[in-house]
């Protein structure tokens, strides 16, 4: 069965059900098996198969904002950023910072993250207990991005919390309270971005990325609004993906001690292990796109102006590519998981090399010092039907 044409399709994906939000895997497995293309009662479509997501999520006729506009969504705050622009404007904004986030450059910045992690571990008490999400996930990434931008270091956790608030408004049907809190999150990060720009204009000169982006604005290559939104994303969300990656890695290492040992002793296995961590714990479970002209997927023609949700979290457990998806198996095909881990197409995550490099650098520090990791207490996860992240994880190293 390729498609569900009736409102019963809504029952296949109960977006607001707390159990679905906590553990959506049984629902994903069902649509992968029986309903690869689901049509919902509002005319939207949901795509789940790995092959379909790989082929169509980057289709050039799809856009990130509905042709009808974004309305009063809190995400209107990013309409002038690489997240929600298209075509030449998107490319123009991206060019002002993308060369600073290449894999080669990210490896350089990750050295700052490694030093930050070492400092956190040096402060750790003799019991080996540490708030790992903040100290080993969030702060190393935030410190590295401070170096990239050429600004003072700050506590990264308020930005993580603000970003998580904004992400809740990307759910399928966010509540009024979620929208209100998302506006608060954007308000906080936009104010911080404005402050950073003002301070740098008053004290320019270190030649790092924020100087270069201000120069781009002064020369007309960026508008002031594009500059502000770009800094809000780069600084406000610097540790969002790295924090989730590190928290998830530590939980996986605690649950699978042999994997931690493999990472420690088998250098060739490290990238495969990192890919498997990311496959199992995507920060963004889905991508929403909109058709601008008819789009044929399998035997279904999707009309223009239609919302299409590509479920990355389902695609990365498609049994045709990832058998026994609940198991931690780092021998899976590297290319299949890497291609989807941080999105597809023009709007794929521009910070993915940064997130990966920071994760590699920090985990390398950990395996230099320790043989075992244990989770202490319960992690604090923040989840919606669209995103998953961490806000608290205490571990013990030995």
Considering 3-12, 111-120, 274-283, the range whose residues carry the highest mean pLDDT is 111-120
Nearest to 277 by CA among 252, 254, 260: 252
- Confidence at residue 6, expressed as pLDDT on a 0 to 100 scale: 40
* Number of separate domains in the chain: 1
Q: Contact at 8 Å (CB) between 247 and 286? A: no
338 — pLDDT class (breaks 50, 70, 90): low
**Containing structural domain, residue 211:** 3-397
Residue 333 predicted with pLDDT over 70: yes
Please give the backbone phi and psi of residue 171, each rounded to the nearest 5 degrees, phi first.
-65, 170
CA distance 278 to 274: 6
Integer-rounded Cα radius of gyration of the chain? 21
Q: How far is CA 106 from the centre of its chain?
A: 16
Q: Contact at 8 Å (CB) between 250 and 373? A: yes
CATH code at 198?
1.10.630.10
pTM score, whole prediction: 0.94
- Confidence at residue 7, expressed as pLDDT on a 0 to 100 scale: 42
5 — pLDDT class (breaks 50, 70, 90): very low
257-to-135, 329, 342, 364, 390 alpha-carbon distances in Å: 21, 13, 26, 16, 21
DSSP one-letter code for 8: T
Residue 64 predicted with pLDDT over 80: yes
Q: Contact at 8 Å (CB) between 296 and 288? A: no
Q: In the chain, what's the furthest Cα-to-Cα distance?
A: 62
pLDDT mean across residues, the chain: 94
Please give the backbone phi and psi of residue 84, each rounded to the nearest 5 degrees, phi first.
-130, 10
CA distance 13 to 366: 39
């Amino acid at each position: 069965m390729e498609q569900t044409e009736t409102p019963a399709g809504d029952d296949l994906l109960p977006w607001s059900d707390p159990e679905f939000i906590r553990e959506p895997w049984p629902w994903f497995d069902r649509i992968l098996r029986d309903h690869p293309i689901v049509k919902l009662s509002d005319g939207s479509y949901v795509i789940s198969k790995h092959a379909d997501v790989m082929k169509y999520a980057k289709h050039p006729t799809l856009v990130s904002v509905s042709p009808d506009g974004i309305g009063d969504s809190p995400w209107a705050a990013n309409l002038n950023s690489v997240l929600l622009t298209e075509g030449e404007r998107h490319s123009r904004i991206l060019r002002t910072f993308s060369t600073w986030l290449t894999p080669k450059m990210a490896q350089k910045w990750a050295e700052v993250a490694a030093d930050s992690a070492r400092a956190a571990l040096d402060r750790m008490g003799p019991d080996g207990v540490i708030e790992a999400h903040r100290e080993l996930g969030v702060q190393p990434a935030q410190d590295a991005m401070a170096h990239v931008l050429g600004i003072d270091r700050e506590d990264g956790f308020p930005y993580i919390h603000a970003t998580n608030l904004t992400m809740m408004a990307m759910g399928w049907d966010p509540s009024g309270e979620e929208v209100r809190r998302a506006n608060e999150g954007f308000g906080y990060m936009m104010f911080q971005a404005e402050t950073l720009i003002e301070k740098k204009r008053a004290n320019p000169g270190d030649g790092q990325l924020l100087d270069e982006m201000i120069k781009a604005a002064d020369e007309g290559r960026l508008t002031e609004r594009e500059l502000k939104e770009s800094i809000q994303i780069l600084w406000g969300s610097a540790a969002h993906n790295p924090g989730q990656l590190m928290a998830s890695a530590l939980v996986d290492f605690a649950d699978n001690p042999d994997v931690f040992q493999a990472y420690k002793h088998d250098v060739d296995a490290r990238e495969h292990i990192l890919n498997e961590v990311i496959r199992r714990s995507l920060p963004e479970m889905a991508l929403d796109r909109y058709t601008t002209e008819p789009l044929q997927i399998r035997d279904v023609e999707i009309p223009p102006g239609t919302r299409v949700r590509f479920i990355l979290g389902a695609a990365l457990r498609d049994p045709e590519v990832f058998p026994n998806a609940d198991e931690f198996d780092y021998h899976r095909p590297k290319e299949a998981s890497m291609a989807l881990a941080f999105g597809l197409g023009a709007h794929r995550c521009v910070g993915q090399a940064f997130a990966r490099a920071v994760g590699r650098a920090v985990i390398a520090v950990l395996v230099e010092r320790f043989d075992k990791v244990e989770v202490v207490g319960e992690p604090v996860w923040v989840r919606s039907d669209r995103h998953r992240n961490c806000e608290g994880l205490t571990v013990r190293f030995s």
